[in-house]
Each structure stands twice: as C-alpha cells, then as structure tokens.
Amino acid sequence: MCNRANPQCTKRCGGCKVAVYCNPAHKRCAREKTEQEETALRASSPDKNVFETSVGMFWAVLEMRPYLSARFHLMMACLDIRTGEAVEAALEHAMDMLWLCGGDNQGVRGYVPGMLLRLGRDQDACDFTKWRATVAWLTEKKHVLDDMSLPTSIELLVPLALMKLRMMRDVWMLQATTEERIAKGKAVPDAWKMRWLKYHALRSVLEERTDTVYQTDYAGTVETLTNQFRTLAILNPHPYANGQLSVYMQGSKEEVVLVMRQSWYSWAETENAVDVVRSWMG
C-alpha cells in the first residue's frame, strides 16, 4: 500500500520528496529497485538521435507524435497573435514539421500559403501551392492545376483566389493611375510604372512580371484576372470563419470550416478582399 493514500505512509523519500512509505524496510526495498533500474539505464547504449535518423518519418516513431502534436498547437497559438513576428515563428514551426514529417499527418501544409500571404510573400505562396498540387505523394494525379476538369482540393483554391484578387487589385490601380496621367498629358514610361508599384502596390509580385507591367492597355489582363477570381471565389467565406473544427468529408461544409480556419486571417488582412467576394456573390 506504499505510495498510496494510506495514513500509515509517513516516511517520505529523501531524494524525490514525493514518494512515501509505511516503514523503513519498504523504503530500502524501493531504493534498491530504483538503483538497479538506474544502473541498467546508465549501462545501456545511448538512444539514437531521431533528429538525425528519422527525419521525414517522425510520425512513424510513436514516441515523437506527442512532440509533433505539441508543436502543431504551438504553431496555432502563434497564429492567434496577429503580428508579423508571430506569423514568422508559426511559419518556421510549420516548415520544420513538414521537414520532420514528410507525410504531413497533421495537415500542416494547408496553413503555409495563408502564412506566406500574410507576410507579403505572394510568389512563395504561389510556388508552395503549385508544389502541393504537383508532388506525387500529395495526389495520385499530377499537375491537377493544369486540368480544371480534375478534382482539386479547396485548400488549393482558396489561397489561389486571394493571390488572383491581390494581383487584380494592383492591376486595377495601375490602370486607373496610368489613365489619369495620360488624361493630364503626362508621359507614362516603364520606369515610372515600376516606381509606382514599389510604393503603391498591395504586393510586390507584379514587379517580377514586367511583361504585364509594361503593357499600354490593361483591360485584357484585368478581365482575365477577374474571370479567374470569379471561378475560384465560389464561396462567401464569412459565415465559416468562426466555425468549429470537426471530422469532415471532402466537399462538405466542415471542410470549408477547416480551410477558412487555415486562411481567414490572410483574407481579413487584405484590404477589401472579403467585400469584393460579397459583392460578387450578391
């Protein structure tokens, strides 16, 4: 009955200060057993460093699942702190978990595009999304983004829609500013366009698309981006932003709740993004 709720157990262990015993004999017996376990442990060969031997397969090491789970919850806690530093920290945790667990059993990859968009790294978000859609172990069908007839995860469509919206907004603004300068009889050289993008564009992704920026008429580009965005933005996200996570099937309302949880901040922090979706949804 030692170490249980027994009023006779009054002899406290002098080492751990926690275990209690009912008499000195039991205390000595427990001490001897503990010393035997300690001796065997110290004599055994050291454990292998899982960070060297099991990178990419952490989920297969059962003892490491609590570590991955704890780090996932830490990532989520960071995302609730709406500062750039917190998002950077969350992204670092996410990329580390993808490195440690190649199978991504916790669905970390669904959060990465939203983090990159919140940090203004639109091109990185686009590259990551395309990687997710084309890497073989993520889907049985490669290059799903190249064939719109193939089923595509909503996790891919939501960040793509926001990327299109951001680019569309910048092209709109550049077109309006260019037309205003032309109406005033001012020249619109390519160097001026690049300077305008540097100081006024919502994101810097257009700075790398000189073929788009150096156009004299942006109507075709605006129409293309608008149609692409309308195709992707098929759901009004607001009703799902505060939903509770639960088990879901592909294409269900519960999946929408999960995806909006992953990306809602990136939409909310993009000026007028949600309003544009609402206006087009009627």
pLDDT digits (tens, 9 = 90+) for 39-49: 888 887 767 78
Q: 166 and 233 share a domain?
A: yes
Q: Is residue 1 part of a domain?
A: no
End position of a domain, from candidates 138, 170, 188: 138
Tell me the pLDDT band of 70, cut-offs 50, 70 and 90: very high
Q: Would the pLDDT of 24 be above 80? A: no
In the predicted model, is pLDDT for residue 196 greater than 90?
no
pLDDT reading at 140 higher than 50: no
Mean pLDDT score, 242-249: 50
Q: Which region among 25-39, 48-62, 230-244, 262-276 has the lowest average model confidence (pLDDT)?
A: 230-244
Whether residue 147 lies inside any domain: the answer is: no
Residues 6+ apart with CB under 8 A from 11: 20, 21, 22, 23, 24, 26, 27
Domain extent at residue 77: 52-138
Residue 71 has a pLDDT of: 95
- Is residue 94 in some structural domain? yes
Reported confidence tier of residue 137, pLDDT bands at 50, 70, 90: very low
Mean pLDDT over residues 248-277, rounded? 68
**To the nearest whole number, what is the mean pLDDT of the chain?**
74
Q: Is pLDDT larger for residue 2 or for residue 142?
A: 2
Rg of the chain, C-alpha, whole Å? 28
Same domain, 89 and 171: no
227 occurs within a structural domain: yes
Residue percentage of the chain with pLDDT more than 70: 62
Residue 159 within a domain: yes
Q: What angle do CA 96, 100, 106 make, to 5 degrees?
A: 85
Q: Is position 170 within any domain?
A: yes
Residue 146 lies in a domain: no
How many Å apart are CA 155 and CA 113, to the nearest integer? Answer: 9
pLDDT at 211: 59
19 and 119, same domain (yes or no): no
Asked whether residue 253 is assigned to any structural domain, the reply reads yes
- For 57, the 3-state DSSP assignment is strand
pLDDT over 80 (residue 254): no
**pLDDT confidence of residue 138:** 44
pLDDT of residue 173: 79
The total domain count for the chain is 3
Q: Are 85 and 198 in the same domain?
A: no
Q: What is the mean pLDDT of residues 106-120?
A: 90
Q: Are residues 162 and 225 in the same domain?
A: yes
Query: Which residue would you say has higher pLDDT here, 183 or 21?
Result: 183
